[in-house]
Structure 1
Amino acid sequence: MSQLPHRIEHDLLGDRAVPAEAYYGVHTLRAVENFPISGTPISIYPELVRALAAIKQAAALTNRDLGLLDARLCDVIVRACEEIRAGALHEHFVVDVIQGGAGTSTNMNANEVIANRALELLGHGKGEYAHLHPNEHVNMSQSTNDVYPTSLKLAGYVGVHQLIDAMQILREAFGDKAREFADVLKMGRTQLQDAVPMTLGQEFSTYEEMLGEDIARLREAALLICEINLGATAIGTGINAHPDYAGLVRQHLAAITGIPVLTAPNLVEATQDCGSFVQLSGVLKRVAVKLSKVCNDLRLLSSGPRAGLGEINLPPRQAGSSIMPGKVNPVIPEVVNQIAFEVIGNDVTISFAAEAGQLQLNAFEPIIAHSLFKSVAHLRAGCLTLAERCVRGITANRELLRRSVENSIGLVTALNPYIGYANATEIAQEALITGGSVYELVLQKKLLTREQLDQILKPEVLTQPRPPIGLK
């Protein structure tokens, strides 16, 4: 069998054959061999790849401005980075998302792909590093220890805002339903027991409000990850970087990405601290927990269709059973519940990884990145799916809801101001014993007329603070 074309590259461990057409090099090759962990390459996160390219582009421009990098080399590095940011060559970012080395393999993968594409632009072959080197030129004035966390923050910032957009779509879907159901009277429940009347619109408006609150918390968390340590190099002292490098590279990076990045005031602290990732993960967990609670509600309210609550109908999406004909399950809320469970687990992973940092560096940022990006991406997909495949198609069983109010023992609380506490208690006890309707018992005992009861049972009377109305 003939051997595939290859080129020979050298590192401190010796020579290796690299596929001739690969834009990555020997460091990436060894990382692929060393970390056969998840089978998932970093290219699964395109925003991370774009962030790495943006950092390398900003670094090249800064080194050129400071007289450290030849303008011709800067030009081809920038062109290669712009191609990657536009979506090219992502398939050559092949190292596993879970890796040892604090992200060095990811940084070297980026350095090698950019260097080899830049060499092509210069008219040289891949691997001819004497003309343009991954470490000496593409990685100039940098370390993995400032490039990698900065790339995570840039990618995280973009991802969070994509999640916010999806949450806004879901929020609007719940808001539309809140307005549609504004006049639908139902019984509220506490501890799964009848409480007092409310409208279905009020119930759905809480989901709208919840999402609005969480969007605000995510915006706050996104601002925290705008603080970067680029220019810190190895441990935050800025060794091998020009004194003006950190400030200038931040300006270039902000211009390239449009993200309002700020240089951390203490780069030694910023290089070892993962607090902003912990904070963001905590907010994502908050979103997940509350979203899962909403899905629990939707599943419960739609339970049935005849032996459950059956207050609302979720749009049917697929057959629910291989054995029970006609069964339809709440599959969309169920998948969002599972996303929430994953996000909560990811938060635990991130917390342990952040805590495990030692001295001047946290070596476990790859698992932080993988966990964080999964949480963001899956929550985004879950919000869009819930909005489009479930919430927008929800309908209300209006008559059932009305009857549940009239039959509920909880109705006596609303009638108490009109018939008195003693009468209300007697009605409640009799309804419980006989199974009779509170509405009908009040009529039978001539405590109120049907017209008066209907007047009291208007949603605007029952579901907002106001003194007892004057009955006609």
Structure 2
Amino acid sequence: MAVRIEHDLVGDKEIPADAYYGVHTVRAVENFAITGATIAQFPDLITALAAVKQAAARANRDLGLLPPDIAEAIIDTCEEIRAGHLHEQFVVDPIQGGAGTSTNMNANEVIANRALEHLGHPRGFYEMIHPLDHVNLGQSTNDVYPTAVRLALVTALRRLGDSLGALTTAFAEKAAEFSDVLKIGRTQLQDAVPMTLGQEFTTYAVMIEEDRRRLSEAAALLLESNLGGTAIGTGINGHPRYAELACAYLAEISGEPVRPAGDFIEATQDCGAFVQLSGVLKRVAVKLSKTCNDLRLTSSGPTAGLGEINLPPVQAGSSIMPGKVNPVIPEVVNQVAFEVIGNDLTVTMAAEAGQLQLNAFEPVIAYSLLRSLTHLRAASDTLATRCIPGITANRAHLHDTVHRSVGLVTALAPHIGYAASTTLARRALATGRLVKDLAAEAGLLTPEQLEVILRPENLTGHSAPPSVAVR
């Protein structure tokens, strides 16, 4: 294999001649073989890194710090990367020591070597364009990396928001379909009072929409940048106007309202926005998991469970039990939720472990959050397309369970009193007879009164409870 020789503070190193990365990247690949993944598997992060480097080059060009030809070569390269090119050259492990330095070095080297080609020079000819002196001019890993991570998270958040919006719509459409299906609501898994299946599905739509709004709030906190703070937030080695210019260009390039932090030293060490986002993602995961628990429970059976709804059969459920179909889509969403909840603990501990002017553990924070966002989006899309639209209701079974449920006595309690209702419920349970028939037989209410009180729209809260005279 053809190689070129590059040098760093450790010594000389052979680099594949066709590689756009360089010596710092190769050292990192050797040192951090942790996850089996590379940062190339998180394209939002690569795109964000290129956006930051492009903004920096434009700012340094305007300030007269970077020759125009070099600046344009860097800018053109960043445009290529943002369009999806060269992502395979980002080869470092997402979990790494050094607070993200290896990721920044990887970006600097890829951009420098491709920019060299734009100017007609071979890769590795750093006398012309240097990864650190030119691509990283006026920057530090400690402002580049967190800014890129924040921007990548916002991009992923927008996508997750779209997916949750589609899932909300899927539940809302199913709620409309089931608006006339009466069923028994339950508390502590025991019969409570009647409701409609449409009301149950509306609840899921409302819960998910609430969380989608929380994502927008979390995104707003991530758009504060310490770009220009360099090493610890003091701005050492940076031009006084660089931070303002770089942030303005980054906002233009990304289309997001990126703004400079109020205090760069605070912003360089503070991971509060990451913790906030992680908490919101955990909230989404918990609600999605609870919803899927309900879907699994209400579809249990088909003959020996609740059997209220049918999930669409998407694959065979057993290698030994013919005809068995499992709730595999809700199950996979549950598992994603468990992962996200675990990732939240990782983010919490990593944020807490930061010391003094920098948090060295932002790589695992970024890795955890990007995985959570990616997997939650995939889970939401899967649920919205592979499960919810195909759900059907066992209408006859639900109708029967409502009319046989002792929960109907709750509707009678305002008319016959709590004590009489309790006695009625105990008799219904002991004899297996209908509450309605026992109430009429005991002369507590007339059949006409019972018809009014137990009318479906009066049982599910669609109208005020009727007022009837009690004998």
Taking structure 1 as the reference length, what is the TM-score of the superposition?
0.97
Residue in 2 that maps onto 1:232: 229
Q: Is residue 331 of structure 2 the alignment partner of residue 329 of structure 1?
A: no
Residue in 1 that maps onto 2:360: 363
Q: For the aligned residues, what is the CA RMSD?
A: 1.5
Taking a change above 3 Å as real, the CA distance of residues 323 and 367 of structure 1, as seen in their structure-2 partners, is same
Q: Which runs of 5+ in 2 are unaligned?
A: none
Residue in 1 that maps onto 2:280: 283
Identity of aligned residues (%): 67
Contact 1:97 1:367 survives alignment (8 Å): yes
Q: Is residue 178 of structure 2 the alignment partner of residue 181 of structure 1?
A: yes
Contact 2:415 2:468 survives alignment (8 Å): no
Taking a change above 3 Å as real, the CA distance of residues 274 and 72 of structure 1, as seen in their structure-2 partners, is same
Residues of 2 paired with 1:125 and 1:187: CA distance?
73
- Secondary structure of 1:410 counterpart: helix
In the TM superposition, 1:417-428 aligns within 5 A as 417-428=414-425
Aligned residue among 134, 138, 145 for 2:135: 138
Q: Which runs of 5+ in 1 are unaligned?
A: none
- How far did 1:429 drift? 1.4
Residues of 2 paired with 1:233 and 1:357: CA distance?
18
Q: Quick check: 429-438 or 84-93, which moved more?
A: 429-438
Contact 1:418 1:468 survives alignment (8 Å): no
Q: Is residue 306 of structure 2 the alignment partner of residue 309 of structure 1?
A: yes
- How far did 1:443 drift? 4.4
Contact 1:407 1:439 survives alignment (8 Å): no
Q: Is residue 458 of structure 2 the alignment partner of residue 468 of structure 1?
A: no
- Secondary structure of 1:196 counterpart: strand
Q: Is residue 375 of structure 2 the alignment partner of residue 378 of structure 1?
A: yes
- How far did 1:442 drift? 3.2
Residue in 2 that maps onto 1:56: 53
Which amino acid in the other structure matches residue 11 of structure 2? G
Q: Is residue 393 of structure 2 the alignment partner of residue 396 of structure 1?
A: yes
Taking structure 2 as the reference length, what is the TM-score of the superposition?
0.97
- How far did 1:177 drift? 1.2
Which amino acid in the other structure matches residue 255 of structure 1? E
Residues of 2 paired with 1:261 and 1:312: CA distance?
47
Contact 1:313 1:395 survives alignment (8 Å): yes
Residue in 2 that maps onto 1:267: 264
- How far did 1:434 drift? 1.4
Contact 1:116 1:126 survives alignment (8 Å): yes
Which amino acid in the other structure matches residue 14 of structure 1? G
Which amino acid in the other structure matches residue 424 of structure 1? S
Q: Is residue 66 of structure 2 the alignment partner of residue 84 of structure 1?
A: no
Residues of 2 paired with 1:402 and 1:165: CA distance?
36
Residue in 2 that maps onto 1:194: 191
Which amino acid in the other structure matches residue 294 of structure 2? D
Residue in 2 that maps onto 1:433: 430
Contact 2:73 2:119 survives alignment (8 Å): yes
- How far did 1:449 drift? 5.5
Contact 1:184 1:459 survives alignment (8 Å): no
In the TM superposition, 1:94-133 aligns within 5 A as 94-133=91-130
Which amino acid in the other structure matches residue 466 of structure 1? A
Residues of 1 paired with 2:61 and 2:419: CA distance?
87
- How far did 1:421 drift? 4.0
Residue in 1 that maps onto 2:155: 158
Aligned residue among 7, 24, 28 for 2:25: 28
- Secondary structure of 2:245 counterpart: helix
Q: Is residue 206 of structure 2 the alignment partner of residue 206 of structure 1?
A: no
Aligned residue among 404, 413, 424 for 1:416: 413
Residue in 2 that maps onto 1:12: 9
Number of corresponding residues:
469
